[in-house]
Amino acid sequence: MSSRKGAYVTRSERVHGGVSPNAYVPKITVEIRAFWPPSLGHQERVIELLREAAEEAIAEVQAAPYA
């Protein structure tokens, strides 16, 4: 993928991980990766797909039982 154009963003934040023995890694991590062919004209479609993916991920988080 080295010749493909791409974007990669990661964000993380420390949070309370719970109480042992049910403790989790005390961190929220969000990653966004996008790769596309190097030819011109894909930028608008990449942006549309990023928005669609973000909306889908948000809906999944909101539907989670502990949301």
pTM confidence score: 0.78
CB-CB contact of 12 with 47 (8 Å) = no
Average pLDDT score over the chain: 90
Using DSSP's 3-state secondary structure scheme, residue 62 falls into helix
40 pLDDT higher than 90: no
| Residue 49 dihedral angles phi and psi, to the nearest 5° | -65, -35
The sign one gets for the Cα dihedral 56, 7, 28, 21 is positive
Tokens of 9: 């963003």
The number of beta carbons lying within 10 Å of the beta carbon of residue 26 is: 11
Q: How confident is the model at residue 38 (pLDDT cuts 50, 70, 90)?
A: confident
What residue spans define the domains of the chain? 5-63
At 18-34, the pLDDT tens digits run: 888 778 889 999 999 99
SS3 22: coil
